[in-house]
Amino acid sequence: MRSIDAPTLKSWIHDGRELAILDAREVGEFGRSHLFWANPCPLSQAELRARAILPCRSTRIACVDGGEGGLAARLATWLERVGYTDVSVLEGGTPAWEAAGYVLFSGVNVPSKAFGEWVEHHYHTPSIDPAELDAMRRGGTDMVILDSRPMEEFRRMSIPGATCVPGGELVYRIGELAPDPATTIVVNCAGRTRSIMGAESLRSAGVPNKVVALRNGTMGWELAGFTCDRGKALSYPEGTPASLPVALERAQAFADRHGVKPLDRAGLVALLAETGRTTLVLDVRDPAEYAAGHLPGSRNAPGGQLVQATDQWVAVRGARIVLVDDTGVRARMAGGWLRQLGQWEVFVLEGGLQGALETGTPAPDCPEVAAVDAPSVTPATLAAALEKGGTKVVQLTRSLDFREAAIPGALWGVRTRLAGLAPALAGAAQVVVAAAEPVTGRLAVPELRGLTAAPVLLLEGGLAAWKEAGLPLVVDRRNPEDAACIDVYLRPYDRNEGVEEAMREYLSWEIDLVHEVARDGDARFGAA
pLDDT, one tens digit per residue, over 481-511 is: 999 999 999 999 899 999 999 999 999 999 9
What is the residue-averaged pLDDT of the chain? 96
Does the pTM exceed 0.85?
Answer: yes
Question: With pLDDT > 90 as the criterion, what percentage of the chain qualifies?
Answer: 97
Q: Which residues have a Cβ under 8 Å from the Cβ of 470 and sit 6 or more positions away?
A: none
Residue ranges, comma separated, of all CATH 3.40.250.10 domains in the chain are 2-108, 114-237, 249-349, 368-480
Would you say domain 2-108 falls under CATH 3.40.50.1220?
no
Which tens digits make up the pLDDT trace of 240-290?
999 999 999 999 999 999 999 999 999 999 999 999 999 999 999 999 999
Question: In the prediction, which pLDDT does 442 show?
Answer: 96
Position 527 pLDDT exceeds 90: no
Question: In the prediction, which pLDDT does 68 show?
Answer: 85
Q: Which of 33-47, 351-365, 445-459, 465-479 has the lowest mean pLDDT?
A: 351-365
| β pairing state of 19-23 and 61-64 | parallel
Domain 114-237: CATH superfamily, name plus number = Rhodanese-like domain (3.40.250.10)
Q: How does residue 298 score in pLDDT terms, banded at 50, 70 and 90?
A: very high
Q: Which residues have a Cβ under 8 Å from the Cβ of 360 and sit 6 or more positions away?
A: 291
Instruction: Please state, in angstroms and rounded to a whole number, the distance separating the CA atoms of residues 398 and 66.
Output: 22
Domain 368-480: CATH superfamily, name plus number = Rhodanese-like domain (3.40.250.10)
Q: Before 472, cis peptide (omega within 30)?
A: no
Question: In the prediction, which pLDDT does 69 show?
Answer: 77
In single-letter form, the type of residue at position 441 comes to G
Q: How does residue 116 score in pLDDT terms, banded at 50, 70 and 90?
A: very high
Q: Which residues have a Cβ under 8 Å from the Cβ of 495 and sit 6 or more positions away?
A: 482, 502
Question: In the prediction, which pLDDT does 528 show?
Answer: 59
- What average pLDDT does the segment 293-319 reach? 96
Instruction: Please state, in angstroms and rounded to a whole number, the distance separating the CA atoms of residues 311 and 313.
Output: 5
The domain made up of 249-349 has a fold known as Oxidized Rhodanese; domain 1 (3.40.250)
Instruction: Please state, in angstroms and rounded to a whole number, the distance separating the CA atoms of residues 316 and 60.
Output: 9
Q: Which residues have a Cβ under 8 Å from the Cβ of 334 and sit 6 or more positions away?
A: 168, 284, 303, 304, 306, 307, 323
Question: In the prediction, which pLDDT does 349 show?
Answer: 98
- What average pLDDT does the segment 462-479 reach? 97
Which tens digits make up the pLDDT trace of 211-226?
999 999 999 999 999 9
Cα distances (Å, whole numbers) of residue 262 to 256, 280, 310:
10, 15, 21
Position 182 pLDDT exceeds 90: yes
Percent helix, strand, coil in the chain (nearest 5)?
45, 15, 40
